[in-house]
Structure 1
Amino acid sequence: MQFSRSHSATLRVAGILAITFFMLWLVCYRFVNDIPVLFVALALFNVAHALLLDSSSLLRLWKRWYKKMLFLLAINVLFAFIDIRFHIYDGFLRLLGQQVNVYGAFTPMEYYQHAIARTFLTLMNTILILEIAVQKITFADLLRLPIHPDLKKHLLFFRSILNFLIEKIDMNDIVFDTIPEYQFYPKSGFISDFKHHYKKNLILIFTLIKIVNEQSIIIGELIENKLTHTNTIRK
């Protein structure tokens, strides 16, 4: 019975990983420059996420990421505007004495439209694929894998940290929004707004890194104690 469960878990995890890597290869390499295909893939992965997990989980995922996507979009648009307006790349290449057509067959505007769409679609497709894969591989599957205890400990650790991080992203935003400085600020123009949101997102990132660093020590010790206790009982 134990062998059967172990064998089943191995096949399940191997199958999920194989499909995941194949999907990532398609969206991140094979069709990375095909915007219509990436749009279709995004729609399909949203449907797959809703069917394989649940619609509320999909809504939480988009709620969690849409602000980050808008911030990334703003950064890309800003750099595109600077390059189109001041010809940064062309000037830099002339300074190096190189004659390279950075934009290929596109105009600078077309090049950046394509690049920004590709970045957004590739990133969201990747997030959806990894979210589905991680949620479908359960802790029970990892515990039943016939692998070395040290490797199993690391897999359980990263799975636990990822769960913790997903839960804390939403909570971190809520706590951050209670700080008066980031509830009310003078809106004096685009530059001031951009600076405010840039600083806020930077603080959020460093806060999450700090939280994960502290919790990783606690979670690591709990997993090690659990595995030691389980191995002792089996012996």
Structure 2
Amino acid sequence: MTTPVSDPPVYDAWSRWRSATRARIGLGRSGDGLPTTALLDFQAAHGRARDAVHGAADFASLADALAPQAVIAVHSQASDRATYLRRPDLGRRLDPAGLPLLEAARGDWDVAFVIADGLSARAVAHHAVPLLQTCRVRLDGWRIAPVVLAAQARVAIGDEIGARLGAACVAVLIGERPGLSVADSLGVYLTWAPRPGRSDAERNCISNIHADGLGYEQAAGMLCWLLRAARQRQVSGVSLKLDTAAAAALTS
């Protein structure tokens, strides 16, 4: 009686590296191309990224989720998504129609939060409200302006919003440019003494907030540390370095 011989195990030198990264490495090959599974996965990821960029944020649902907090809805000077993608400059400027709403809410605010669709409406839908709510419970005693929902907006739109509201600091929660690994990553940009003309060097950024990246508690700890430090030192950007140890302690 003969004993069947099983195939020898196949050694995959890439397996332990794949477990440490979401990057596409060691995919193998089929002839001179990718294996079918890897190719289909790549195409699906590309489709998710395109959908995230071209999708529309549901600001009505965000307003409902934020209730009973007061919200203000504004729009950039980019009239539609196509214009927004072609003209980044218009996404940084407020449509004048929103100015009276901001002026009416002007006050002595410590911080203003802006939720902007940016380049991933999916990121805003998934993460903006949970992150904002996590932050608010850590800012007891802070005078927080009504949340501003900004459509077709880029980061710099927060400068004029914060200035119009009279806020000492503005934090813009915005959908980041999607990649082929993550299509719903949220970023936060903080600027002390916001006003039109602020440069990117005058902002602090917290990025990669998503299910497989930075969690809400950790991101909120970092943001609240930066907010307190900015208020104490009256600076942001390159003049304000995040103390990761101190921020981490805030998450415990």
Q: Which has the higher strand share?
A: 2
TM-score w.r.t. length of structure 1: 0.26
Quick one: higher RCO (CA 8 Å, sep 6+), 1 or 2? 1
TM-score w.r.t. length of structure 2: 0.25
Q: Which has the higher helix share?
A: 1
